[in-house]
A and B are shown apart, each in its own frame.
Chain A
Amino acid sequence: MGKNYETVIGLEVHVELATKTKIFCGCSTAFGGAPNTHTCPVCTGMPGSLPVLNKQVLEYAVAVGLATNCDITQYCKFDRKNYFYPDNPQNYQISQLYLPICRNGYVEIETENGTKDIGIHEIHMEEDAGKLIHDEWDDCSYVDYNRSGVPLIEIVSEPDMRSADEVIAYLEKLKMIVQYLGASDCKLQEGSMRADVNLSIREVGAKEFGTRTEMKNLNSFKAIRRAIEGETERQIDIIESGEKVIQETRRWDDNEGESYAMRSKEDAQDYRYFPDPDLVPISLSDEFLDEIKSRQPEFRNEKMARYMEEYKLPEYDVNIITESKKMADIFENTVAIGADPKKVSNYLMGETMRILKEKEMDPQDISFKPEALAKLIKLQESKAINGKVAKDVFEVLFFEDIDPEKYVEEKGLKTVNDEGALRKVVEEVIKNNPQSVEDYHNGKEKAIGFLVGQTMKAMQGKADPASVNAMLKEFL
């Protein structure tokens, strides 16, 4: 005991690209189709079928490579990775081994000790496998090939991370870049972003890496964190007890909070890669790369600078609303139809973030329309509704497709601007609360707050608090 260990982590991240069709055939990539309704001879590996590369896959892969500071391999090709498994109908996966599309990149992450570059070894294009379904009571397994041939990029990092925090920061960064590019929605829970964690332990100061394990089945940031902590502990225990870590693939069980070695397939992992003769090489011209470069979107840093300059928003706001492309899009679209930037920003930073957190939702899941938020803000600006009502309506609008104007009208939530009615209620409240009135006259400014509250209650929340306050003061 007493030794200091260091955790060394590298990541293999698979990202499902947001194309309409599969990587090598014209089948739809849409989710939710009945089994095998999005299949053809190519993606079910029928003999004699010929794959043809989807140009959009290439463009997304290059765009991600450029955004992560990679060198683009201008002459690249596809290779076959050979293995037998029923979810892989060709008995090989089309991938890239010898000349991956992107190499030698990096992304910058924030750590508690400042910024740090995480190296990207390579990014390659490949196809996804089908889905195997097991029935406990059956002697058979069943295969749905709808996902077979869906395009993926695999982003392989260098072993540059040293903690779960760094891993999460790196994943968040990748996710943001890919989302800003519109190349994927990157949802871990739904599998459109998957991370395999390669982890080893060594004594602090050691030059050599320890033996690493690879962990799979990590479906959330929480699971990734727990798995890293669990595996670090497991490997330290092994080393401390004088034994050796075995290089193996382990499956994380998040319910048990434990990983276990996956039964190694009886065949050795010998993939016998070789160039795929069905696919001709790719030769990217400088013009092709320039074209993609010119289409790169405005990334977060540029957006932040512009929001501060153009909309005069504080840095604090800008930091939050540019964290996801989705949020930034909602902001821009709502402002574009005339809503006040600061007010839009307040709704996004405040209510929206609160609901997302409460419901454990991702900004990607936001479905309300910019028009709805703009209308709500207008209603509040014109004092047709007060702040409290506006917040309640926002909560409804967040989950349901409502027209705030109609909703407010139908539910009778409009502020009562009838001065006569308000005057009557205020008179009543003053009459019924002589103690508060006396306190107020004796210099207890706070007493008026209670009276405002009583008035608002009597008005069923449908009064403008400022007018109530003013009228109370007038009476007092």
Chain B
Amino acid sequence: MANVISDETIEYVGILAKLELSSSEKEEAKSDMGRMLDYIDKLGELNTDGIEPMSHVFPVKNVWREDVVTNGDDRDNIISNAPGEKDGMFEVPKTFE
């Protein structure tokens, strides 16, 4: 494995992804990520001169809709997915800016 992921990196990635990993999970994730980067490096060996970066795997473009209201009030269904509810609102842990 050419790419070695440091403890700091895995810690940082964990924070960004809001994941708390045990030490064994961290080791596993480090080696997985290292192998992924190795694979990316392999792609880097290819000659891509003059090739446009791809942004989508399907040859599809311009999927649009008209500006017409199609959805009504479906609050009860939507709210049934909330972790908590009060007065028609999603209840979440106290969050400050």
Contact = CB atoms under 8 A, between A and B. Distances in A.
Interface stretch (B26-34, B38-46, B85-93): B85-93
Given A28-B71, A134-B96, A37 B89 contact: no
Interface in B9-30: 12, 15-16, 18
Interface of B: 12, 15-16, 18, 55-58, 60-71, 73-75, 78-79, 81, 84, 86-97
B56 A275 contact: yes
A157 B74 CA distance: 39
Contacts of A272: 16
Nearest to A139: B94
Nearest to B95: A141
Nearest to B64: A55
Contacts of B90: 36, 86, 142-145
Contact of A20 (B69, B75, B79, B95): B69
Contacts of A275: 55-56
B88 A267 contact: no
Nearest to B86: A142
A37 B73 CA distance: 5
B91 A21 contact: no
Q: Kindly name the residue among A36, A57, A84 whose own CB sees the greatest number of chain B CB atoms within 10 A.
A: A36
Contacts, number: 138
Interface size class of A (residues with CB under 8 A): 35 or more
* SS of A interface (majority): loop
A46 interface: yes
A206 interface: no
A20 B68 contact: yes
B61 A138 contact: no
Contacts of A52: 63-65
A144 B56 contact: no
Interface in A53-71: 53-58
B71 A40 contact: yes
Which 4 pairs show the lowest CB-CB distances between chains A and B? A26-B70, A56-B67, A142-B89, A55-B64
A21 B65 CA distance: 10
A86 B87 contact: no
A281 interface: yes
A44 B81 contact: yes
A68 B67 CA distance: 24
B58 to A, nearest CB: 7
A251 B96 CA distance: 13
A86 B92 contact: yes
Nearest to B65: A52
Contacts of A25: 71
Interface string A133-152: 11000111111110000000
Contacts of B55: 77, 98, 275, 281
18 contacts: A19-B67, A26-B65, A26-B69, A35-B75, A39-B74, A46-B78, A46-B81, A53-B63, A55-B66, A77-B56, A140-B93, A140-B94, A141-B91, A142-B86, A142-B92, A270-B16, A280-B60, A280-B62
Contacts of B86: 140, 142
B55 to A, nearest CB: 5
A38 B56 CA distance: 30
B75 to A, nearest CB: 5
Given A143-B89, A280-B63, A283-B61, 7 more contacts: A26-B71, A36-B75, A54-B64, A57-B67, A133-B89, A134-B94, A142-B86
A27 B69 contact: yes
Contacts of A33: 73
A256 to B, nearest CB: 16
A133 to B, nearest CB: 7
Contacts of A28: 69, 71
A132 B94 CA distance: 10
Nearest to A91: B18
A21 B95 contact: no
Q: Kindly name the residue among B68, B90, B96 whose own CB sees the greatest number of chain A CB atoms within 10 A.
A: B90
A299 interface: no
A326 B43 CA distance: 57
B95 A85 contact: yes
A21 B64 CA distance: 13
A140 B16 contact: no
A20 B97 CA distance: 30
A262 interface: yes
